[in-house]
Structure 1
Amino acid sequence: MDRVTASPDTRAIVVDDVSVDFPPHGISGAHRAVDGVSFSVGWGEVLGVMGESGSGKSTVARILAADHLRRAGQNVAPSIVGGAVHVNGSAVRSMRRRSLPVFDFDVAFLRQNAADTLEAERTVAEIVAAPILERDRRYDRATLDVRVATLLDELFLPLGTMSAYPYELSAGQRQRVAIARALALDPKVLIADEPTAGIDVSVRSAVADLVERRRRIGDFAAVFVTHDIDLLRAVGGRVVALHSGSVVGVGSVDGLLESAEHPYLTALAHAVAPPARHENREARRTSP
């Protein structure tokens, strides 16, 4: 299968005044999850998206990954009701389900709670190799084994993990296997919802390092939806802060925390910044 080739001046992701609704279901009425959100991601950039639960950040991730088109997705699918979304040159709002195999070849989606979606009856090697073999059953097995082993090594998982089953691994190890599976096709764009969930602090840097290597090799872009402030600092890109479905800040993570122009950002700054920093900021605000 051929990859989609975007023109050199095309940004990796463009989200233009996008609004997303969830339809009524059960006792819940219709819900506007994302309201007039705009941002873009250039090639070689990693954008962070942060916000409280219910802020719309996971909905943004699903839309970017065209997950609303998947029958195997979550039970209630969001619907783009306004604006435009382009990912790797593909117009997501007008995309049809039959276009997903081509789209997925270049755009990988690490969904929330990905560690819980690993096939229990498959070994780690089989799980990571699955996206490749689904497209080419005749793929050289020796080359495939090297590919899988390399991905696991990048995520600080020992070679012996290849023959293990998910139930034999810790939650953090399963999450790293899910990341390896998402990267198996060497995607141009990675959409990751809470990529470091359950991963020990001592190996979280592996995720940032892995992304940095891909940025250096060639065209690559990523969106990290995450509560992990340290990860956002490590990847060093811009951050979009969401609250109640709208953008309330754009900038570096520390710049947003320093300015704290919205109550959500103020609360977050007080939760993560050292006490001295709060005192210095308050002193500057009250000084004549």
Structure 2
Amino acid sequence: MTSQPAIVVSDLSVEYPARGVSPSCVALRGVSFRLEPGEIIGVLGETGSGKSTLASVLAGRGLPLRSSLPGPRISGGDATVLGHSLRKARKRDLAEVTFGVGYLPQEAASTLEPTLSVKDNVALPIFERDEHYPRRAAGERAATMLDTVHLPLSVLDKYPYELSAGQRQRVALARALVLGPTVLVADEPTAGIDATVRDAVIDLLAQLRRLEGFSAVIVSHDLSVLRRATDKAIVLQGGRPVGFGPIADVLADPTHPFVAGLAKALQPPQRRTERRPQRAD
């Protein structure tokens, strides 16, 4: 197993520049952490805290190669992914990052191509890399990935509209893993999935850590996901880190008011004990 960190985030700040009537917006401020091989880190925070921006940046998606193009800019610090600095990234660097990092975007089930079969959806990243890749081999790889995410091979020739929301989410996860990435960045992987399938997806994410050198960043508002599938978690509020460490430790001893409020809100309700009136002798 390599000793090089999979991801090093150093005082990272990310900004969306002003465009038209929209003012500039700072999405992340001073975020720092390291992701080691074999480690899974969770990202927790309220809506608008910068979680999805962090996920897309670390996955090498959305970063424009020219200043005239829309998208987030790294305005401070840096993020190094698989040895590539994203602040100084060129097209070739981003191509290597997107090859080595599987990305499951938010609402991933809705990103499947409706006119393609499940098999072709899963194999799509292969043909985006090499349009001459043998179709038989790609189909076999797609079948292997469906087995990995616990879907029957009978869905290979079906279309996304024929599947349940949970099945579509697992197809999207299979697509994110089809190139054999060493890092997975998953944004709300259990969103829109019913409880029984949700547990299966959580178990799958936890099992992935058994692969040698495999690492992941999992964005989720679901604490059961973070507790069962991650080693550590970073808590964001307003784009700033306000907590970091094993999720149980962060919530047990919060040092920031937002984390303290989160911990209090997540406490199980206390049982009320009724005192029975005592009989007079």
- For the criterion TM > 0.5, the same-fold answer is yes
Match of residue 38, structure 1, among 29, 32, 35: 32
Offset of residue 16 of structure 1: 0.2
Structure that is richer in helix per residue: 1
Offset of residue 166 of structure 1: 1.2
Q: For 1:27-73, what per-residue CA distance to the aligned partner results, in whole angstroms no more than 9, with x for missing partners?
A: 331111111111111000000001001111111112111223358xx
CA contact (8 A) 2:2 2:213 kept: no
Matching residue of 1:165? 159
Q: For 1:183-237, what per-residue CA distance to the aligned partner results, in whole angstroms no more than 9, with x for missing partners?
A: 0011001111111111222122333433344332311110001111111111141
Q: Distance in 2 between matches of 1:70 and 1:197?
A: 28
User: TM-score by structure 2 length?
Assistant: 0.87
Coordinate RMSD, CA, aligned: 2.2
Matching residue of 1:80? 74
User: TM-score by structure 1 length?
Assistant: 0.85
Offset of residue 124 of structure 1: 0.6
Map 1:145-160 → 2, pairs under 5 A: 145-160=139-154
CA contact (8 A) 1:172 1:197 kept: no
Matching residue of 2:190? 196
Match of residue 62, structure 1, among 56, 72, 77: 56
Offset of residue 158 of structure 1: 2.3
Q: For 1:66-113, what per-residue CA distance to the aligned partner results, in whole angstroms no more than 9, with x for missing partners?
A: 223358xxx941110110110111111111234333222111111112
Matching residue of 1:215? 209
Q: Give the 3-state SS of the residue equivalent to 1:275 in structure 2.
A: coil
- The 3 A distance-change label for structure 1 pair 252 and 133 is same
Unaligned runs of 5+ in 2: 272-281
Letter in 1 for 2:27: A
Q: Give the 3-state SS of the residue equivalent to 1:134 in structure 2.
A: helix
Match status 1:270 vs 2:264: yes
Letter in 2 for 1:226: S
Matching residue of 2:279? none
Q: Give the 3-state SS of the residue equivalent to 2:242 in structure 1.
A: strand
Q: Distance in 2 between matches of 1:236 and 1:8?
A: 20
Letter in 1 for 2:89: M
Matching residue of 2:179? 185
Unaligned runs of 5+ in 1: 1-6, 278-288
Offset of residue 267 of structure 1: 2.9
- The 3 A distance-change label for structure 1 pair 129 and 89 is same
- The 3 A distance-change label for structure 1 pair 107 and 118 is same
> Which moves more between the two structures, 75-84 or 39-48?
75-84
Q: Distance in 2 between matches of 1:163 and 1:247?
A: 44
Offset of residue 146 of structure 1: 3.5
Letter in 2 for 1:115: A
Q: Give the 3-state SS of the residue equivalent to 1:216 in structure 2.
A: coil
Match status 1:255 vs 2:249: yes
Q: Distance in 2 between matches of 1:255 and 1:201?
A: 26
Q: Distance in 1 between matches of 2:17 and 2:230?
A: 36
Q: Give the 3-state SS of the residue equivalent to 2:156 in structure 1.
A: helix
Q: Aligned pairs, how many?
A: 268
Q: Distance in 2 between matches of 1:146 and 1:67?
A: 27
Q: Distance in 2 between matches of 1:69 and 1:262?
A: 31
> Which moves more between the two structures, 120-129 or 60-69?
60-69
Match of residue 111, structure 2, among 111, 117, 136: 117
Q: For 1:106-134, what per-residue CA distance to the aligned partner results, in whole angstroms no more than 9, with x for missing partners?
A: 11111112111111100111100111233
Offset of residue 142 of structure 1: 4.5
Structure showing greater radius of gyration is 2
Q: Distance in 2 between matches of 1:276 and 1:253?
A: 22
Q: Percent identity, aligned pairs only? A: 48
Offset of residue 138 of structure 1: 4.9
Q: Give the 3-state SS of the residue equivalent to 2:218 in structure 1.
A: strand
Matching residue of 2:101? 107
Matching residue of 1:285? none
Match status 1:127 vs 2:121: yes
